[in-house]
């Protein structure tokens, strides 16, 4: 169905056109036609009507990222946060030796240490969620260069409304389609928050691993 190589244009034209053909063939078969005939459903004239790879591909990326973050990542992080907060409470009266430069330092409760871990995850969630408004803005309707040429004037808003209906997420039509087509700033912004979170989680794991490294106290 998708005989493509990994190398393709940044606009994702090959993937977009391949998807149009797959959807066309599925519709043709359901209508009793012959696969590959392009009749009665043409991949370009019907499936791709009022669209372009330049707005469809970034729109697909935004929807995919939003759903992964909202449906999987944030719930998993909140589950981790709840576990860290439970340890914070359980260890609130357990005094241990703090650590600086991998050496024993002044006393601290284990609960205080875990409060730091919990706060780091909590802030990581907030930073990621702060990036989502940009992800919710969709390029669809800008067509080839952002002018919306060959698309119905209400297509962009109607499309966004339908995606909201299907996903229950607050997607909107991007206010400036030229920016939405020409840049990936929103995705880069989200990537930065994800990179910060990843570094934080790695740090938490290392802190817990080093907790028993001595030289005199764990």
- Cα distances from 144 to residues 13, 171, 177, in angstroms, run 11, 21, 10
What is the number of other CB atoms lying within 10 angstroms of the CB of residue 125? 17
Please, what's the largest Cα pairwise distance for the chain? 78
- Nearest alpha carbon to residue 138 among 57, 202, 205: 57
Alpha carbons 33 and 36: distance in angstroms, whole number: 9
Domains and CATH numbers, the chain: 1-49 (no CATH), 51-210 (1.20.200.10)
Residue bearing tokens 């790695």? 202
Question: What is the percent of the chain where pLDDT is above 70?
Answer: 98
pLDDT at residue 89 above 70?
A: yes
Give the predicted TM-score (pTM) of the model.
0.91
Tell which wins on pLDDT, 73 or 7: 73
Average pLDDT of the chain is 95
Question: Band of the pLDDT at 195, cuts 50, 70, 90?
Answer: very high
pLDDT at residue 218 above 70?
A: no
**Span 28-53, average pLDDT:** 96
Angle subtended by helix axes 53-68 and 185-210, to nearest 10: 30
pLDDT at residue 175 above 80?
A: yes
- Nearest alpha carbon to residue 23 among 43, 49, 53, 2: 43
> pLDDT tens across 125-161, in order?
999 999 999 999 999 999 999 999 999 999 999 999 9
């Amino acid at each position: 169905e998708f005989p493509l190589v990994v190398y393709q244009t940044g606009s994702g034209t090959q993937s977009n056109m391949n998807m149009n053909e797959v959807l066309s063939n599925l519709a043709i078969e359901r209508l009793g036609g012959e696969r590959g005939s392009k009749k009665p459903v043409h991949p370009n004239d019907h499936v791709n009507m009022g669209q372009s790879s330049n707005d469809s591909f970034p729109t697909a990326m935004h929807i995919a990222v939003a759903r992964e973050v909202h449906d999987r990542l944030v719930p998993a992080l909140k589950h981790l946060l709840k576990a860290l907060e439970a340890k914070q409470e359980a260890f609130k009266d357990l005094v241990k030796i703090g650590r600086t430069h991998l050496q024993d330092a002044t006393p601290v409760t284990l609960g205080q240490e875990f409060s730091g871990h919990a706060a780091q995850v909590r802030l990581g969630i907030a930073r990621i969620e702060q990036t989502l408004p940009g992800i919710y803005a969709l390029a669809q309707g800008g067509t080839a260069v952002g002018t919306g040429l060959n698309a119905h004037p209400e297509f962009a808003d109607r499309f966004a409304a339908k995606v909201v209906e299907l996903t229950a997420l607050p997607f909107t039509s991007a206010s400036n389609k030229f920016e939405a087509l020409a840049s990936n700033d929103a995705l880069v912004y989200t990537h930065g928050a994800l990179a910060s979170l990843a570094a934080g989680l790695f740090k938490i794991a290392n802190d817990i691993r080093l907790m028993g490294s001595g030289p005199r106290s764990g």
